[in-house]
Amino acid sequence: MTQTSNNARDPRLPDFIGVGPGRTGTTWLHEVLKGRVNLPAGVKETDFFTTNYSKGIEWYAHHFRDADRVRPIGEVNPYFGFPEAAERIAIHIPRCKIICSFRNPVERIYSAYKLWRHYTLTNDPLDQFLVKVPQVIEVSRYATHLPDYRARFGEERVLVLLNDDLRADQQAYLDRVCDFIGIARYPVPASAAAGELINSINDLPRFPRAARRARKFMYWLEEKQAYATSNFLEQAGAWKLVFGGGPKFPPLDPVIEAHLHELMRPEIDALEQMIGRDLSAWKSPRAKSSPAVPRAAASQGR
C-alpha cells in the first residue's frame, strides 16, 4: 500500500481516530459525536487498520464516501494495543489526531471478559480466559503503548482521556474532545447523559445456543457489509434480547482482582508520570471510583 494523506485529490480519510481501547467509553464517544462529525457510513468500527487492512485503502475510504468537506472526519475504533495499527495509521494519515481513552485497567479487563461471555465467545472462567486471550491484558498496558502514538504523531496530536472524568463530568469530557478535534462545543445529548453508560454489560444470554447462532449471523452481516440490516436489528432490540436476559455477572473475584492489580501496578505508576495525573484510585482492589486529578491539585489537597 502507498502512503496516503488527506487532500482534495486523495480518498477521504479520518482527521481523527478514537483508538480506545475498548470498554473505556468508545461507544459513548461514537454516539455523542453522531451528527457533529463525519463518521463511517453504516458501521461504528471498520477494523481497517487491524483485521481488514488487506482490503485496501480504497475499501476504507469508501466508508467516508458521504462525508462533507465542512465537518471533520473521524472514526472511533479500538486500535490501541495493536502496534501494527499505529504504524498503518501513521503511514496513511500521518497528521491524524489520536484520542486515547483509558479506564482503570482491572475494571477494563473484567468488562472485556464480560463482553466475550455476553457474545458467547468464551465459556472459560476469567483466569483461564486471560491465559488463552492475553491481548485483553496487553491492550490495558497504557504506558507501554502510549509512547508509540506520541512518537509517531506528536504529543500535541494525541489526546489522553480518562474514564473517571467521563463518569464525573460528561460535559467537560466532551468539551475536551470538541476542542481537540476542532468543532464547536455542544451539550451532551440527553440520551447519553441519562442512565448507565452506553454499552455496559451486566448479564449473560438467556439462551446461549440461540445467542451463538445470532452471533454468527451478526458477523455474517458485517462481513457482507449489510450494515443497514444489522443496525435495524439492533435498534429493534433483537441483539439485546438474544444476548441478554440471563444470569447477572457477579463482582470480580477478590483473589483475581488482587492479582490483576499487582500485575498492572507498574503500568499505572508509569502512566501517572506520563500524563501527570494522580491514579491512586486504580492501584488497589475495591478502591472507590473517584476521578483522577492533576498532580498539582492532588498535592494542594493534602
| Residue 271 included in any domain | yes
Question: How much is the pLDDT for 40?
Answer: 96
Average pLDDT over residues 247-261: 93
Question: How much is the pLDDT for 277?
Answer: 97
| Residue 37 included in any domain | yes
Per the structure, the complete domain to which residue 125 belongs is given by 16-202+249-300
| Residue 240 included in any domain | no
Residue 25 and residue 101 in contact, taking contact as beta carbons nearer than 8 Å: yes
The residue with cell 451532551 is: 188
Average pLDDT over residues 81-110: 98
Looking at every residue in the chain, the average pLDDT score rounds to: 87
Question: How much is the pLDDT for 293?
Answer: 47
How large a percentage of the chain has pLDDT more than 70? Answer: 84
**CATH number, position 131:** 3.40.50.300
Q: Rounded to the nearest 5°, which phi and psi values hold at 20?
A: 85, -140
Each residue's pLDDT tens digit, 38-72: 999 989 999 999 999 999 999 999 999 999 999 99
DSSP state of 278: E
Give the pLDDT band (50/70/90) at residue 15: very high
Give the CB-side neighbour count of residue 302, counting CA atoms within 13 A: 7
| Residue 283 included in any domain | yes
Question: How much is the pLDDT for 302?
Answer: 33
| Residue 211 included in any domain | no
Domain count, the chain: 1
Res 280 pLDDT > 90: yes
Interatomic CA distance for residues 300 and 142, integer angstroms: 27
| Residue 292 included in any domain | yes
Distance set, CA 6 to CA 37, 70, 199, 203 (Å) = 16, 14, 32, 43
Res 166 pLDDT > 50: yes
Give the pLDDT band (50/70/90) at residue 239: low
Please give the model's pTM, rounded to 2 decimal places.
0.83
Distance set, CA 261 to CA 25, 61, 68, 105, 125 (Å) = 21, 40, 45, 8, 18
Question: How much is the pLDDT for 208?
Answer: 73
Each residue's pLDDT tens digit, 112-160: 999 999 888 899 999 999 999 999 999 999 999 999 999 999 999 999 9
Question: How much is the pLDDT for 116?
Answer: 92
Between 9 and 256, the higher pLDDT residue = 256
Distance set, CA 68 to CA 14, 35, 71, 73, 95 (Å) = 12, 11, 6, 8, 19
| Residue 290 included in any domain | yes
Each residue's pLDDT tens digit, 170-229: 999 999 999 999 999 999 998 887 644 556 788 777 767 777 777 777 767 777 777 777
| Residue 221 included in any domain | no
Contacts of 3 (CB under 8 A, 6+ apart): 91, 92, 94
